[in-house]
């Protein structure tokens, strides 16, 4: 039997659980990107003219398409990312559905014109308002680990705000990218408004070079820096989500069984391939022994296997190089004194990309496990003496995406949250705020800049414009030309009247009024 011909310009869709090539998906030639951006500009002009309520009605249709297609969408996510199907349903399908529902309902309120009250006397004759206008063409360069949730949580608010979108989905999940395009086509969005492009770095580079009006990038720090540099050349604004090294603080008064369960899930969901995963855990010394034992016990119960097996808790890593990296990180930590409590081995008997969920203690800042984003199934624990040390250790990182605090005292947890350097902090939970549509997502330092999700994410998609109307249109303004000594004297009196105490206001009132009602024909 003759071998099936592989298209020259295509991307392989690979099942990480087996290494099997599932299909080949046509790649977008980089040379076509300028034309696609031009088409997106044409579509955006027409789209922006459509009333916001009508745009939101199409988002309702999109939500219905996602719900109808949930089984095929979940299947594609499992096959290309390797995660268990339950996680595909919760983390990808649910987040996508809820994003569409949230913006369909809330965008008209969130983008409503805002009246501006003027406190200064000099502006009292004017009325002002803030309006939100679409930016134009939004470029989205997305990630593979949540191949539906990440791109859709950015595409949806972009189009709700009146923009068009060119989205490069990951070359690791090309079938998921194709399904996203199908969702918008089936929901009858205008042609050219949302375009999914497929390819590698050459397509991403071409997309930025085509000068979209804003770029949203999700990925590594190294690539994010290149994206920021490329955008800066043309002063293209950007939002960068570059990953994290998220900390979890377990205080002595916490419910340790619940905290251990959260730590295990927060570290190993999606095989640890989550920007928000728990990668640094700080536990108070008085409860450390019991807590570590609970973490190890729960981890050893996890079932490792392919995502399409309903009994699987933890699936494979995405590619073999990630397996090698996990081993290298553990070897470095053990060499420097860390102790593996459970796991720590590859599982080639299951497939090429399986690595045991691992709990390792005695980790410190000298080890790569506490310096670099792990992005794999390793829970690294450091014992601290008290709350103050935990806070200091948490903030001692180049990353600042999110964090979590476990304590039985909610007020104490909230007080600690305010002291942590992070874009979000959860009290007695971890990661799940990503699934709360109202919650902004993003960080600072090496975790990037800007926000997605919620009102903050929607406002990243618009140009804010201030409009002022003067209600004395037939009167020249006091600060216009012609200048002179009399105006200077009146201006000084006006400053005293506006910003001085009661007696100063009274003594300067008469002269100050001459500023407001002076005769421009005289010096």
pLDDT over 70 (residue 76): yes
Answer for the pair 399, 443: CB distance below 8 angstroms, yes or no: yes
Quick one: DSSP state of residue 366?
T
| pLDDT (tens digit per residue) in 267-292 | 999 999 999 999 999 999 999 999 99
* Predicted pLDDT of residue 8: 64
Answer for the pair 272, 306: CB distance below 8 angstroms, yes or no: no
- CB-CB neighbours of 36 under 10 Å: 18
| pLDDT (tens digit per residue) in 410-435 | 999 999 999 999 999 999 999 999 99
Q: Which of 303, 318, 218, 327 is nearest to 270 (CA)?
A: 318
pLDDT over 90 (residue 118): yes
Answer for the pair 460, 452: CB distance below 8 angstroms, yes or no: yes
pLDDT band, very low/low/confident/very high, at 522 (cuts 50, 70, 90): very low
Catalytic residue among 241, 284, 373, 460: 241
- CB-CB neighbours of 177 under 10 Å: 29
The fold adopted by the segment(s) 246-437 is Aldehyde Dehydrogenase; Chain A, domain 2 (3.40.309)
Taking residues 381-391, report their average pLDDT. Answer: 98
Active-site annotation holds for 241: yes
Cα dihedral 246, 150, 13, 94, rounded to 10, equals 100
> What is the pTM for the complete model shown?
0.95
Report the mean per-residue pLDDT for the chain: 96
User: What three-state secondary structure class fits 427?
Assistant: strand
Active-site annotation holds for 275: yes
Residues 6+ apart with CB under 8 A from 102: 437, 438
Answer for the pair 79, 95: CB distance below 8 angstroms, yes or no: no
| pLDDT (tens digit per residue) in 346-383 | 999 999 999 999 999 999 999 999 999 999 999 999 99
- The CA angle 500-501-506, to the nearest 5 degrees, is 90
Catalytic residue among 56, 176, 231, 275: 275
- Residue in this structure with the two tokens 């309520």, named with its chain if needed: 53
Instruction: Map 199-247 to HEC letters.
Output: CCHHHHHHHHHCCCCEEEEECCHHHHHHHHHHHHHCCCCEEEECCCCEE
Every domain of the chain and the residues it spans: 30-242+456-465, 246-437, 475-516
Distance of alpha carbon 177 from alpha carbon 40, whole angstroms: 18
Distance of alpha carbon 168 from alpha carbon 240, whole angstroms: 15
Percentage of the chain exceeding pLDDT 70: 97
pLDDT band, very low/low/confident/very high, at 519 (cuts 50, 70, 90): low
pLDDT over 50 (residue 523): no
Distance of alpha carbon 12 from alpha carbon 175, whole angstroms: 9
* Predicted pLDDT of residue 2: 43
* Predicted pLDDT of residue 520: 54
Tell whether domain 30-242+456-465 is in CATH 3.40.605.10.
Answer: yes
Partners of 382 in the β-ladder: 282
Least confident of 179-188, 209-218, 437-446, 504-513: 504-513
* Predicted pLDDT of residue 476: 87
In angstroms, the Cα distances linking 90 to 69, 94, 104, 376, 435 are 14, 5, 20, 20, 9
Least confident of 2-6, 83-87, 136-140, 334-338: 2-6
| pLDDT (tens digit per residue) in 17-47 | 999 999 999 999 999 999 999 999 999 999 9
- Strand ranges in 4-142 using DSSP code E only, listed in sequence order: 10-14, 21-26, 114-116, 126-134, 137-141
């Amino acid at each position: 039997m003759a071998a099936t011909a592989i298209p020259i310009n295509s991307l392989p869709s690979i099942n990480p659980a087996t290494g099997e090539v599932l299909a080949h998906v046509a790649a977008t030639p980089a040379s076509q990107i300028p034309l696609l951006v031009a088409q997106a500009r044409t579509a955006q002009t027409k789209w922006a003219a459509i009333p916001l309520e009508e745009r939101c009605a199409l988002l309702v249709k999109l939500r219905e398409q996602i719900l109808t297609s949930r089984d095929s969408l979940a299947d594609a996510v499992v096959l290309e990312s390797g995660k268990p199907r339950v996680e595909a349903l919760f983390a990808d399908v649910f987040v996508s559905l809820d994003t569409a529902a949230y913006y369909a309902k809330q965008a008209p309120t969130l983008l409503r014109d805002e009246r501006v009250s003027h406190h200064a006397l000099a502006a009292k004759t004017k009325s002002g308002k803030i309006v939100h206008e679409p930016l134009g063409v939004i470029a989205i360069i997305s990630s593979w680990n949540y191949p539906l949730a990440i791109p859709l949580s950015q595409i949806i608010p972009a189009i709700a705000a009146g923009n068009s979108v060119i989205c490069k989905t990951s070359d690791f999940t090309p079938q998921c990218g194709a399904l996203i395009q199908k969702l918008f086509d089936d929901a009858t969005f205008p042609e050219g408004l949302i375009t999914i492009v497929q390819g590698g770095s050459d397509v991403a580079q071409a997309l930025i070079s085509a000068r979209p009006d804003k770029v949203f990038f999700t990925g590594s720090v190294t690539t994010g820096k290149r994206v920021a540099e490329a955008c800066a050349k043309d002063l293209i604004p950007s939002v960068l989500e570059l990953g994290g090294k998220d900390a979890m603080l377990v205080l002595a008064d916490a419910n340790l069984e619940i905290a251990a369960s959260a730590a295990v899930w927060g570290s190993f969901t999606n095989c640890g391939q989550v920007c928000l995963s728990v990668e640094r855990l700080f536990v108070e010394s008085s409860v450390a022994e019991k807590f570590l034992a609970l973490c190890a016990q729960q981890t050893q119960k996890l079932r490792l296997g392919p995502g399409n097996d309903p009994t699987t808790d933890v699936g494979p890593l995405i590619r073999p190089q990630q397996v090698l990296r996990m081993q290298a990180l553990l070897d470095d930590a053990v060499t420097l004194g860390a102790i593996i409590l459970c796991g720590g081995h590859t599982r080639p008997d299951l497939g090429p990309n399986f690595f045991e969920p691992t709990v390792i203690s005695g980790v410190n800042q000298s080890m790569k496990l506490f310096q670099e984003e792990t992005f794999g199934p390793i829970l690294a624990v450091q014992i601290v003496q008290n709350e103050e040390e935990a806070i200091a250790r948490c903030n001692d990182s180049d990353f600042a995406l999110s964090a979590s605090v476990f304590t039985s005292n909610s007020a104490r947890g909230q007080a600690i949250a305010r002291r942590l350097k992070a874009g979000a902090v959860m009290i007695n939970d971890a990661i799940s705020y990503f699934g709360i549509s109202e919650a902004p997502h993003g960080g600072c330092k090496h975790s990037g800049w800007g926000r997605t999700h919620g009102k903050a994410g929607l406002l990243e998609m618009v140009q804010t414009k201030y409009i002022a109307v003067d209600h004395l249109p037939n009167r020249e303004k006091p600060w216009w030309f012609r200048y002179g000594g009399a105006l200077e004297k009146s201006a000084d009196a006006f400053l005293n009247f506006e910003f001085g105490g009661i007696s100063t206001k009274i003594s300067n009132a008469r002269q100050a009024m001459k500023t407001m009602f002076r005769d421009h024909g005289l010096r």
